[in-house]
């Protein structure tokens, strides 16, 4: 994609694309994984799938917040846009798609979930009219303060907008802090962010379980906003970035070590320990350290490997940059559409009672095809482009570099 400033980091674009691709597979996995609630579930579920999904579950969204903050820092440093302009761009490219998603895109998710639980009668349009009415009496026990309206999987957008606004307000302070941190060893910075995550886990995890509802999600805010601040500062420290690239194998080993211990614990490897050990401050601290190693090990390993192998677009990776150009433009519409398409296609396929391997393969193909077709349609009209966060020629908002999801 054409860029308006130098120092473009293509490794971030590639990594963001891969992370959102992984998100599609993860949400398809949610349809089949046993014991984890989701909007609809397959009749055939797997407990073994939990172990595979836990590989990415603790850090996949943190990675996206980290990349988003890095991109915001680089946009501030290398573009000529003011914080006010960046605020306008992020607001237009995040809040408008959020509203579009809430009123249009995620409605089938709520409809089919309620239908599968026999809470409503069939009739999509009549359900939609009730869904958009904040004073509806339908499914009163499932209401939020705005009725049935929900953002479901699009929760990332309001969180990203709020964090971006706070960082843009605090940008002078953060840029000053970045300058003061130039000679701080990266190892010290790593200990600080790990300590932050451990403290959040120990103090907030049980009291504030994840809701993705923004206002009461204090553990997630402590986790994700600290990751966002870390990403912003990290992007401005070239020596830290280079060190992560050099130490990428060690970070990968740390991630594998943390993941191995988490899976071992889930499968009863430590059941012989006395119950009193699990309730002690020492044990909780040990668990927090393992979770922090797993979390930051994987994030920094991926940043390091992307920086080593994906920093430049090469013909070996992407012929003439066409794939990356497509991904940079298409990623937000794909993100908005994918979970609704997964649910719709899963509902269509379920009566066929196909072998689970065949069904899952078809679900992946249909979802990706639907996202591609949806994007091809959306990009052709100015109104749909605006609603789905694509660049529109508006005089108040001049060209923004790359996708709004991280820019």
Average pLDDT for residues 289-317, to the nearest whole number? Answer: 86
Average pLDDT over residues 239-253: 95
| Per-residue pLDDT at 317 | 52
Instruction: Tell me the mean pLDDT in the region 272-289.
Output: 80
Mean pLDDT of 281-290: 92
- pLDDT tier, 320 (very low <50, low <70, confident <90, very high otherwise): low
Q: Tell me, what's the pLDDT at 163?
A: 98
> pLDDT band at residue 199, thresholds of 50, 70 and 90?
very high
How far is Cα 389 from Cα 94, in angstroms, rounded to an integer? Answer: 7
Q: What is the pLDDT of residue 77?
A: 82
Q: Are 353 and 398 in contact (CB under 8 A)?
A: no
Round the average pLDDT of the chain to a whole number and report it: 90
CA distances from 170 to 58, 78, 80, 174 (A): 28, 18, 18, 6
Burial of 7 (0-12, 13-18, 19+ CB in 10 A): exposed
- Long-range contacts formed by 50-58: CB under 8 A, 24+ apart: 50/266, 51/263, 51/266, 51/267, 53/26, 53/29, 54/259, 54/262, 54/263, 54/266, 55/259, 56/22, 56/26, 56/298, 57/26, 58/262, 58/291, 58/294, 58/295, 58/298
Question: How many Å apart are CA 343 and CA 341, to the nearest integer?
Answer: 5
- pLDDT of 150 reads 96
**Mean pLDDT confidence for 25-37:** 96
* Band of pLDDT at residue 369, cut at 50, 70 and 90: very high
* Average of per-residue pLDDT across 250-266: 96
Encoded tokens for 100: 């579009």
- pTM of this prediction? 0.91
* Confidence at residue 342, expressed as pLDDT on a 0 to 100 scale: 98
Residue with the bigger pLDDT between 85 and 212: it is 212
Q: Tens digit of pLDDT for each residue in 145-154? A: 899 999 999 9
Residue 394 has pLDDT above 70, yes or no: no
- How far, rounded to the nearest angstrom, does the alpha carbon of residue 142 sit from its chain's CA centroid? 25
Give the pLDDT of residue 276.
Answer: 61
Gap between the Cα atoms of 40 and 346, Å rounded: 9
Segment 130-137 mean pLDDT? 94
Amino acid 313: pLDDT: 55
Reading the block at residue 163, the tokens are: 């964090």
**Residue 6 has what pLDDT?**
41
Average pLDDT over residues 365-390: 97
Say whether pLDDT at 278 is over 70.
no
Please check the confidence at residue 335 and state whether its pLDDT lies above 70: yes
Residues 251-264, mean pLDDT to the nearest whole number: 97
Say what percent of the chain tops pLDDT 90: 77
Task: Please report the pLDDT score of residue 404 as a whole number.
Answer: 46
């Amino acid at each position: 994609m054409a860029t308006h400033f130098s120092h473009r980091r293509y490794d971030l674009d590639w990594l963001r694309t891969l992370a959102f691709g992984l998100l599609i597979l993860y949400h398809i996995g949610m349809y089949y994984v046993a014991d984890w609630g989701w909007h609809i579930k397959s009749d055939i579920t797997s407990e073994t799938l939990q172990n595979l999904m836990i590989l990415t579950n603790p850090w996949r969204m943190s990675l996206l917040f980290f990349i988003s903050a890095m991109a915001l820092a680089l946009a501030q440093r290398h573009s000529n846009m003011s914080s006010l302009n960046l605020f306008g761009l992020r607001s237009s490219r995040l809040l408008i798609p959020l509203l579009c998603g809430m009123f249009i895109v995620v409605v089938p998710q709520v409809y089919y979930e309620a239908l599968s639980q026999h809470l409503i009668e069939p009739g999509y349009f009549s359900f939609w009219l009730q869904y958009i009415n904040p004073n509806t009496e339908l499914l009163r026990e499932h209401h939020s303060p705005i009725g049935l309206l929900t953002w479901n999987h699009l929760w990332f957008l309001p969180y990203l907008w709020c964090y971006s606004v706070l960082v843009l307000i605090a940008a002078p302070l953060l840029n000053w802090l970045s300058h003061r941190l130039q000679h701080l060893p990266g190892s010290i910075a790593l200990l600080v962010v790990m300590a932050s995550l451990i403290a959040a886990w120990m103090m907030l995890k049980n009291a504030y379980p994840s809701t993705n509802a923004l206002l009461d999600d204090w553990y997630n805010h402590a986790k994700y906003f600290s990751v966002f601040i870390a990403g912003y500062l990290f992007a401005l420290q070239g020596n830290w970035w280079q060190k992560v690239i050099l130490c990428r194998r060690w970070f990968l080993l740390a991630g594998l070590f943390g993941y191995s211990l988490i899976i071992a614990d889930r499968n009863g490897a430590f059941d012989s320990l006395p119950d009193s050990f699990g309730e002690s401050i020492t044990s909780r601290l040990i668990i927090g350290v393992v979770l922090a190693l797993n979390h930051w090990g994987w994030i920094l390993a991926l940043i390091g490997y992307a920086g080593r192998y994906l920093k430049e677009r090469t013909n070996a990776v992407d012929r003439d940059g066409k794939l990356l150009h497509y991904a940079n433009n298409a990623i937000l519409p794909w993100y908005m559409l994918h979970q609704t398409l997964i649910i719709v296609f899963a509902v269509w396929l379920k009566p066929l009672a196909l072998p689970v391997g065949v069904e899952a393969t078809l679900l992946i193909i249909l979802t990706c095809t639907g996202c591609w077709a949806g994007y091809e349609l959306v990009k052709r009209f100015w109104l749909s482009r605006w609603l789905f966060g694509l660049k529109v020629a508006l005089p108040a908002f001049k060209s923004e570099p790359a996708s709004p999801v991280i820019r």
